[in-house]
Every structure is written in C-alpha cells, then in structure tokens.
Chains A and B, each alone.
Chain A
Amino acid sequence: MSIPIAVETVRAAQRRVAPWPYLELDVHQLRVAGWRPTPVHDLVLKVHQRCNLACSYCYVYTQADQSWRHRPAVMSEEVWRAAVASLGRHARRHRLASVRVILHGGEPLLYGASRLGELATELRTSLPAECAVEIGLQTNGVLLDATMVQQLRQHQIMVGVSVDGIAADHDRHRVTPSGRGSFTAVRNALDLLRQPENRAIYAGVLCTVSTDTDPIACYEQLVAFDPPVIDFLLPHANWERPPWRPAGSVAPYSDWLIRIFDRWYDTASPIHVRLFEDIIILLLGGDSRSEQVGLSPSAVVVVESDGAIEQVDALKSTYAGACATGLDIRRDELDDALDDPGIVARQIGRAALPEQCLACPIHQVCGAGHYVHRYRPGAGFRNRSVYCADLQHLITHVRRRIAADIQERVARAS
C-alpha cells in the first residue's frame, strides 16, 4: 500500500526526532502477527484555536509546538461537517456502541453557543442510532454564564471545567492576557453548574498538580464545587524538560497527591477521583480509563481547526510537529490515522515499554505513565516516565492502603 506524500513527509520528519516509534516500531509486522487497532472512541474537535486566558503552563501556547499560530482561529463549518461525517462512517464500519466527541481549544466556548449547538445537533443526527454519543467540552469557565449554560443544557453538551484549587493558587497560573486571575469567574461558573437543573451537564473538574500549594486546601476547594468527578493532572514534562522539583525532593508530585489520597480514601462516599480510582482498579487486576496510568489502548484522535487529523495534543509539550500525522479530515478517513506509528504506539500496551519498565513489578499499574512524559530527544517515546519516582511512590502507597483495608475486611468477616 502506497503512503500519500503528505503523510510520508510528516513521518520522515517524525523519524528524525522520535526514532521510536516512527523508525523502530514495525506496524506492518504487528498486523501480520495479528494485532488489530482499537477504533477511535474519543474524537477531539479543536473548534477554537485561541484562548481568553494565558495560563502559565498551557501546553498549547507555551511549550515546544507553536502550530496554533498558523492555523485558523475558528474551525470552519466545512471542517466540522467533514469530521462529523467521518465519525459516522467510522462508527458504522466498526459497529461502535458508543463514541465521545470533545469540543476543545483553545477555549471552546469562544466558538459560541449557537455554533456549538448546531454541531451537536448534526452529530446526533449523523451517527447511527445504535451508537451512543456523549458530547462534552472542557472550558476555563470564564464565559460560562447562565445563558451559555442554558444553551449547553438544551443541546446536552457536558461541561468539564479546569480549576486549580483555591483562589490564590488558581490565580497564580490561570490568568487573563493582562495578568488578572480568573478564579472568581470560574467559581461563578461552577456555582451555576451545581444548580439542580444544570447538574446533568456537569461533567467534572480538572486540576493541574502544583507542588508548592497546600494539597488539602486544594482538594477541599474542589470538593466544595461538588463535581461528579475530579481529576488531577501532572504538568506536562519530559526528559528534555523535566518537571520542577524543590531541591532535595525525590517525588514531590506523589507526596502532594498522597496527602489528598489519604484524605479522600478515609472519607465516606467521596467524590470520584479518576486518577486514584484508576490506580486502585489496576491494582485489583482491572484496566485503566486514564492516559496517566495503565496499559489500556488510547483511542483518541484530534481534528485541528484547519482539518488536520492529529494525535493527542499533549504531545505539543514535546517537540514541534509531534502531533502531526499528515492526514486531513476532508480527504482521509479516521481509519487511516490508525496506521500512524504514533497512534499505534499508544495501543500496544506492554510492547511500547522499554526493558527497564518491563523489569519493574509496577509497570502493569503505572504503564510507564502518560506517553508524553516518556519523551527523550534523539530516542523518542520508549522510555520510562520522567515522573517514574513519583508514580512508584504513589502506587506503592495506594497498594499499601488497599491491602491493609482488604486484610481488615477479611479479618472482620472471619
């Protein structure tokens, strides 16, 4: 099968920067050996390329890849209609029982409620009846007023909000271009979502870990927003740009998370915390739904505002062009993306891990962490996580806690 010139050009560039997977992973051989890709389940549409905030750690604007500068600010109707049609064909071809479409940016609410609603309506019309569709967006909350919430509710668009704990901590990083904090606006937005009539579209909150903050104050603030689910994200980092660590600290990110884990675990009926629950389920022998831990296949594809079919946008934190596949949603099928070595690398579980990880008893739980945290210039992505020590520390702690809990239950039942 011949590879289109646009795709081959991108792969040639990828091979130079990331030999694994682009040079060393033999996708053809995997197929011959019987491996088959997991179809796309999460389609991320970059409906708006710009943002009304200028967060200090944003992987879209402040890190290695600056491709946002050259793309249209707004996704055209032609592009989103092509994406919707393509997803419909993909769902039919693979007889998918469910898909998720995530409206993302930049800040997706800049796209406007009317266009978001039109897109949602078209999605529900175009997908086969037997395929359930969840439509969601992740917002900074600034534009989420009563009118916007009412319109999103009308179109059954779920809303996740990014918030980094208490006001002082949130406002250090999540600021307007003029440097003004956004906490008050986000709190108002979350107060709206908490209202009984809006809870059905309240998806949850995302919080980026910041080790120089008080973890318990952060957690309690997030709990006060009463979300259905919380997730904590490690800041994107890699072996070229390691995460900030205080002098003398070995695993500050896990130290921070463990403080919250213990508070959470000891609470009756606590709010769901995705990262913690995924680790526990992995320890119990199950599979993870998170990119941060585990070896479950990633089934995410991104469509950029210019129609480019890309890999997960967190790769923008590694090197310029890291997300590229050379495919375009107006010309190519989503199935074509499933041949991209970068996407395949995230679907093959243990086969993507280095020997060092395979020799570690924790690897089936940590899964070498988030794929982007494994990047090392000149080598690519077959490395342990730059957060390896933190993951080991956190997982060992969680394991100790649930082992003690189970032992106590066994003793009680005897």
Chain B
Amino acid sequence: MDSATTPATVGDPGWAPLVDVSHRSMTELVADGDTVLARCVDRLVRSLDDPDGVISAFQNYVS
C-alpha cells in the first residue's frame, strides 16, 4: 500500500469567491475575539499543516 492521497480538485468548476479579501490581512479580518468566523478561519489555517490531511470522520460519534 502506498501513502495516502487526496483526490485532486484541480480543474473543478468554480465556486464564486465569497468576498475578495486578497488585499486584507487575515488577522485584521478575524481580530474581534472568539466569533464563529474567527474560529473557522483558525481551524482552516491549522488544517493546512495536518500531515494526514483532512478526512471525514465517523458521523455517529462526536468529539
């Protein structure tokens, strides 16, 4: 068995960007404390360093 791979998403039909924030710093946009959005951005950034990649977990257990 070889190492894990995640299906490629290159070439996917586009999902229009939500809002163009490319000229903004991340910290500027999520600097207002523990909001849902700030929390999700934080999790997203952390997931980029996950050596196993993001996988879908067993639904009938929550942690």
Contacts and interface: CB of A to CB of B under 8 A. Distances in A.
Nearest to A364: B15
Contacts of A351: 7
Given A290-B56, A300-B57, A409-B29, A36 B5 contact: yes
Interface string A147-179: 000000000001010000000000000000000
A233 B44 contact: no
Contact of B9 (A290, A350, A359, A406): A350
Interface in B20-60: 21, 24, 28-30, 32-37, 39-41, 43-44, 47, 51-60
| Interface SS majority for chain A | mixed
A203 B36 contact: no
Contact of B59 (A94, A281, A314, A364): A314
Sorting the interface of chain A by its residue count into under 10, 10 to 19, 20 to 34 or 35 or more gives 35 or more
Nearest to A335: B1
Given A286-B54, A399-B18, A410-B24, A160 B6 contact: no
Given A37-B1, A286-B43, A286-B54, 20 more contacts: A38-B6, A96-B52, A102-B61, A203-B63, A204-B62, A204-B63, A264-B36, A269-B34, A277-B43, A289-B57, A291-B58, A295-B7, A296-B56, A297-B56, A338-B1, A361-B13, A402-B37, A403-B18, A405-B37, A409-B30
Nearest to B47: A286
Interface of B: 1-7, 9, 12-16, 18-19, 21, 24, 28-30, 32-37, 39-41, 43-44, 47, 51-63
Given A283-B18, A284-B41, A298-B56, A39 B9 contact: no
Nearest to A96: B52
Name, among A97, A102, A286, A291, the residue most crowded by chain B CB atoms within 10 Å (CB to CB). A286
